[in-house]
Chain A
Amino acid sequence: MSFEIDLTLLRGERTITARIASEARLLALFGPSGAGKTSVLDMVAGLLRPDAGRIAVGGEVLFDSAAGVDLPPEARACGYVFQDLRLFPHRSVARNLSYGESLAPPERRFMELGEAAAFLGIGHLLDRAPRSLSGGEAQRVAIGRALLAGPRFLLLDEPVSSLDRTRREEVLEVVARIRDELGLPILYVTHDERELERLGAEVVQIGD
């Protein structure tokens, strides 16, 4: 199984639940804004603790409330590309990219900075500051930073929703290549059906 997720989170009046068991390499969480899609990603990444449940990716248990397993975020090896990107403002593009790379154990790394830059077409941006990047450039840098940390799987939160049509196509192309060429399981959040069709993703509905 790529993704085995069964979790419950109470947030005030609301209950977020997700039940997923999938072999898909690209699994999309689809649903309206505010349905809790990002919360599901945060729980998989270890940034938010479910009230109960179990999360396993590629057979490795990340969280299991019954067994008392709760790996900290740094031990989960997830490449999380946030909707708001969260590039480090005080570091150049190159030093954003190398942040996770320098922390990853060598056996988990599958890419070097130069390769990632070429793969994503961001080689000419390495000396730039994050705030000087366009939306599409920043998005690709954020993806590169996640890939270089040697992740076992990727979490992509609305990676193209803030981009214009041309940039959108560029980033979707990159996502498809990550799936096909790198073989990383991807959990992909969106509220746009066209992206799902374009990527041929298996879809899980979150919320009503």
Chain B
Amino acid sequence: MLSPDEWQIVVLSLKVSAVAIALTLPFAFALAWVLARSRMPGKVLLDALVHLPLVVPPVVTGWLLLLAFGATGPIGGWLQRVLGITVMFRWTGAALASGVMALPLMVRAIRLSLEAIDPRLEAAARTLGAGPWRAFASISLPLALPGVIAGAVLGFARSLGEFGATITFVSNIPGETQTLPLAIYAALQVPGQDAAVARLAGISVLLSLAALVASEVLARRSGRGTHVL
């Protein structure tokens, strides 16, 4: 069905998305926890900032990543100097871009599942002899797990479809940063590639559909009326 080049594109897309979600998940969980539980001032602002990638034009997000992670950017410069690594024009940069774009959706799903947990259960665990961390790890974490997994799968689906921020930040380099959407875009620029476009688009739709269904099934399994869709 697929040519070796097309397989490579699919594999790269899956790798970029998987790494993006693995790296973003701890941040998404921490942010969701703060938004669900803390009463800190400025929470509204944090909430808005987290949701920004959802509403800002993706090309703007890509440009901001360029500023921050470019060779002379505050984070990019530090990475270059101290660790000797760069994410510019690398697949790791594509993972970073799609992780940032997936963050708001992941935070939303995880936050909903955390808000559905009765904090009084943790109080009960404390009276039974559990310290704060153990109470969290043995009560809230397992109860939130379906929501966390649903958020991760949803983020994965979003990540597979990421286009604007990625192409702005790390360009469209075959074999390095050319994920499915970027490959489809590239194929569209060349006459006579209709069949390749159709194959890649079909795979895109199938992967996204599978991820969304998986995410919704997991959210329903948590049994507390949480929905992703």
B117's nearest neighbour on chain A, judged by CB, is A89
Distance (whole angstroms) from the CB of A132 to the closest CB of chain B: 13
- CB-defined contacts of B138 to chain A, threshold 8 Å: 99
- CB-defined contacts of A80 to chain B, threshold 8 Å: 124, 127
With A88-B139, A89-B143 given, is the CB distance from A74 to B124 under 8 Å?
no
B139's nearest neighbour on chain A, judged by CB, is A88
Q: Which of A33-47 contact B (CB under 8 A)?
A: 45-47
Is A78's CB within 8 Å of the partner chain B? Answer: yes
Is A58's CB within 8 Å of the partner chain B? Answer: no
With A47-B126, A74-B126 given, is the CB distance from A86 to B131 under 8 Å?
no
Residue of A45, A73, A104 with most chain B CB atoms under a 10 A cut-off: A73
Is B121's CB within 8 Å of the partner chain A? Answer: yes
With A82-B124, A86-B118, A86-B124 given, is the CB distance from A100 to B142 under 8 Å?
no
Is B39's CB within 8 Å of the partner chain A? Answer: no
Bound CA span A95–B158, Å: 38
Bound CA span A71–B15, Å: 49
- CB-defined contacts of A82 to chain B, threshold 8 Å: 120, 124
B124's nearest neighbour on chain A, judged by CB, is A86
| Chain B residues in the interface with A (C-beta under 8 A) | 118, 120-121, 123-131, 134, 138-139, 142-143
Distance (whole angstroms) from the CB of A156 to the closest CB of chain B: 13
Q: Which 6 A-B pairs have the closest CB atoms?
A: A100-B128, A103-B129, A73-B126, A86-B124, A80-B127, A149-B128
With A100-B128, A103-B130 given, is the CB distance from A73 to B123 under 8 Å?
yes
Bound CA span A100–B138, Å: 12
Is A200's CB within 8 Å of the partner chain B? Answer: no
Bound CA span A149–B139, Å: 16
Is A51's CB within 8 Å of the partner chain B? Answer: no
A88 B121 Cβ-Cβ under 8 A: yes
- CB-defined contacts of B131 to chain A, threshold 8 Å: 72, 74
Q: Which residue in A46, A77, A99 is a CB contact (below 8 Å) of B125?
A: A99
